[in-house]
Amino acid sequence: MTVAGRISVLFMSAAIVMGLVASFAAATREYTIRLDQVLESSRAGLLSRPDLQIHIYNRDTLRLEKILAGFLEPGGVSAAAIFSGLGELLARRDGPAPATAGGASFAALRSELLATESRLLTPDASGKEIGQGLVTSLLHSDAPMYLSMPIFSVVNQAQRGLQPEDFARALAAPDDREIQHVIGYLHVVIDRSLLLRDTAPAVRRIMLGGLVFALLLGGLAWFLARRITEPLKKLAELADEVASGRLEKPMEIEGSGEVEEIARVLNGMLGGFHNHIKERDVDRHLLSMKVEERSSQLTARSEELDRAVETVTETRNQLQHLANYDSLTNLPNRRLFTEQLDMALRLNRRNKHILALLFIDLDDFKRINDSLGLNAGDQLLKEVAGRLATCLRESDLVAHFETPQQDIGISRLGGDEFTVILNQVEGIDAARQVAQRVIDELSSPVPVDGHDIVVKTSVGVALAPADGDDVESLLKAASTAKYHAKRSSAGRLEFYDRDMGSAGAERIKLESELRKALARDELVLHYQPQVDTLSGSVVGAEALLRWEHPELGLLQPGKFIVLAEEAGIIAEIGEWVLLEACRQLTAFDALEVQLPRVSINVSAVEFDSGFVQRVRTALQETGVSPERLELGLTEAIMFDNDADALQAMQELREIGVYLSVDDFGTGYSPLGYLSRYPLNEMKIDRSFVLDSEKSENGARLITAIIAMARSLDLRILAAGVESEKQVVFLTEQGAHILQGYLFSKPVPAEELKVMLAPWHFIDQVQKIMQSAGQTATERFLESNS
């Protein structure tokens, strides 16, 4: 930069700085004046309204809101509120502009103030005072300021029956004004952004004047500097041209005598250099041509070699990647995982450290693949791989180091199975924290093809060297723990225990015996009655599967249903349950025992393309009327919004079969399916019934579910009723079809027969209702009136 330029820049910079300083000072002054005007207006407004004490005493909300409108007139006020002396909100009025805050509570604002103290409070979101200056308002424009002012009364508000005349007399008596009482508080919410907006026009005018001043000063400085430095500049250019040999003719320079003398000397030297420069240019040109020729030849050879090396390297990397990485998720595959786990085990064995192996499996992945397609399954696996990578710390090293500096990440063994290696863990607690973090991360819905899929994850954990000191034994231990996690009702995380090995052998044996249980007639149905509390009669019964094991005794479904699903015989067992329940209805009819309806549960695995035909066949073989058969469909059947599932349900309804949604609210289906699918009944899950007795929110949830079912014209059945309070509450809310241990546990058909007599439970229901102030007989008469 030239001397003239530097002088101009210096003067202009000084002018800009002075303009900025002046602008900031003016902005601060304008902002302070505006804030003081708002504060004085609010204080004056409060003093001008002695009738506030009367309206606060009378708690006249409408008049208070009307008065508050006057406090919103000054610019910068976004809201105003009046509180009682105890901090209760009596009235609030918001301005036309949306309030940026107002969320600070009365107690938080006045916690450190005296009852009679009036102050402007400037808390931030955490409650810390941040000040009221311009800089603070610019940095925290969304943090409002609060002007908290006590409202005094000359009358003691503790007195009862006061009239407006009492306050008027007290105000007119000068002696009585010496003693005043705080009857309430006025809070004025001042919006910093509105104050800044009102201050902006004056600031812009000042900044514009400063800018004009800076430009004028800079132009003057540039003109003077140019007059002084222009001859020197031309002289310097002449010297540069001479030194570089580029000057071909003399240069004329106007200036003082010394400058002109120097110019003449330089112009004289110029003639002696011309011949030398011409000879040097010719030699340099010839040399440059030779160098360029050789350089181009070397460059071509170098580029050819670089391309060859790049091709070989790229091919080698591709082959290595294909051999060691999963093509879908780009994670290390089983081969690479096995190599690195072996290396990690040897390193931990030498250093006497603990290593943890996490075996991760996605539940119901096959169902998602079958219902939404392979492409959706691939998308789900990619998303799971990405989430695993983000939720693990860098120290949670997994699977493989191709080079000492490269962190490979998570491994995919195949299908929906992933592994994580935790190096040098402190113990079980550290591994548990990481595993739980994985479960929590994968539990949030995954958007796939317009569906929000909730992935349930099972994680098995094995520690080395305690559970295995080689790849095969440690991987087997983690896989065994993962299997137990999938079957566990307590959670989805299990650590390997040596007893799990023997449990695995028992599982194989039990699975083999389950395959023979149908042929041996070891499966039986127990029935739990569904009671109408308005009549005391049984209006239906739920058929529940049991296994009469010759050695283990009567087994609950939780012991063998998962085995049946994994063994692929759940559809065969479901068909037997369907036929057996219909046969039992026929048997009751033959004995002239009336069971209006029997309900069986249907899982998503059973609800396939042939399910409707199996129902038709069972009804035809047994002669049971379709409306006496109730199918309890799990939410998983309706989860995918599958057109085939909807078509199957419509066919069942056309047949006359009664459809209900089983254990409503415990799955992960959207509420929209209630209106899309042709359902007859909603079954409220036992967990909701228990919560209704424990908490007010639980009771409100039950009430909301019942109201929703009524609006959709669905019959309501509440399951898991175990206490008299639950009976009273549910009946009063309109859910009078109840099922639970309070009436009966699931019993064989022979024991159920006794309960099918008309009004069998009338005495029990009547006693329950009498304790609540209304008898069951009255309810029965009301329902039939």
- Print burial letters for 241-266: b (CB count within 10 Å at least 16), e (below 16): ebeeeebeeeeebeeeeeeeeebeeb
What is the reported pLDDT for 451? Answer: 81
Nearest to 739 by CA among 674, 773, 689: 689
Whole-angstrom distance, CA of residue 209 vs CA of residue 23:
9
State mean pLDDT over 76-83. Answer: 89
Give, in degrees to the nearest 5, the angle at Cα 69 between 64 and 72: 130
| Residue 177 pLDDT > 70 | no
Question: Partners of 93 in the beta sheet?
Answer: 80
Higher pLDDT, 631 or 394: 631
Q: Say if residue 161's pLDDT is above 50.
A: yes
Which of 275-279, 757-761, 773-777 reaches the highest mean pLDDT? 757-761
Q: Which pLDDT does position 650 carry in this prediction?
A: 93
Give every CB contact of residue 584 below 8 A, 6+ residues apart in sequence. Answer: 525, 527, 543, 598, 749
Find the radius of gyration of the CA atoms of the chain: 43
- Whether the pLDDT of residue 269 is over 70: the answer is no
Contact 121, 148 (CB under 8 A): yes
Task: Please report the pLDDT score of residue 399 as a whole number.
Answer: 38
Most confident of 419-423, 449-453, 653-657: 653-657
Query: Taking the alpha carbons of 722, 724, 726, 732 in that order, is the dihedral positive or negative?
Result: positive
Q: Which helix (H) or strand (E) holds 538?
A: strand 537-549
Percent of the chain topping pLDDT 90: 27
The answer to whether the CB of 101 falls within 8 A of the CB of 167 is no
Query: How far apart (Å, rounded) are the C-alpha atoms in residues 443 and 481?
Result: 20
- Give the tens place of pLDDT for each residue, 622-637: 999 999 999 999 877 7
Region 594-599: mean pLDDT is 95
CA distance 310 to 236: 52
β partners of residue 446 = 453
pLDDT classification of 106: cutoffs 50, 70, 90: confident
Can you give the pLDDT at residue 375?
87
Nearest Cα residue to 23 out of 218, 202, 182? 202
Examine residue 465 and say whether the peptide bond preceding it is cis (omega within 30 degrees of 0): yes
Q: For residue 175, is pLDDT > 70?
A: no
- The mean pLDDT value for 369-375 works out to 76
- Distance CA(645)–CA(625), nearest Å, equals 23
The confidence score (pLDDT) of residue 583 equals 96
> CA 441, CA 386: separation in Å to the nearest integer?
11
What's residue 368's pLDDT? 78
Mean pLDDT (the chain) is 82
734 vs 160, higher pLDDT: 734
Is-contact 63 49, C-beta < 8 A?
no
Average pLDDT over residues 381-409: 59
CA distance 509 to 552: 12
pLDDT top residue among 634 and 679 = 679
Mean pLDDT of 116-127: 85
Pairwise pLDDT comparison (115 vs 468), residue with the higher score: 468
Listed range (88-97, 293-302, 502-511, 654-663) with the worst mean pLDDT: 502-511
pLDDT at residue 662 in the model: 82
Which of the listed ranges 83-97, 507-521, 581-595, 677-691 does the model predict with the highest average pLDDT? 581-595
**pLDDT for res 394:** 47
> Phi/psi at 150 (nearest 5 deg)?
-75, 145
Q: What would the mean pLDDT of 237-242 be, rounded to a whole number?
A: 68
State yes or no: pLDDT of 359 exceeds 90.
Answer: yes
Give the count of beta carbons closer than 10 Å to the beta carbon of residue 665. Answer: 16
Tokens of 498: 């040596």
Average pLDDT over residues 24-28: 80
Q: What is the pLDDT of residue 406?
A: 33
Q: Which residue has the higher pLDDT, 184 or 24?
A: 184
**Does residue 175 sit in helix, strand or coil?**
helix
pLDDT surpassing 70 at residue 15:
no
Please report which confidence band the pLDDT of residue 395 belongs to, taking 50, 70 and 90 as the band edges. very low
Least confident among 15-24, 109-118, 392-401, 615-624: 392-401
Cα–Cα distance between 627 and 388 in angstroms, integer? Answer: 49
Map 226-269 to HEC letters: HHHHHHHHHHHHHHHHHHHCCCCCCCCCCCCHHHHHHHHHHHHH
* Whole-number pLDDT of residue 483: 83
Long-range interactions of 227-232: CB distance < 8 A, separation 24+: 228/3, 228/4, 229/2, 229/3, 229/4, 230/4, 231/255, 231/256, 231/259, 232/3, 232/259
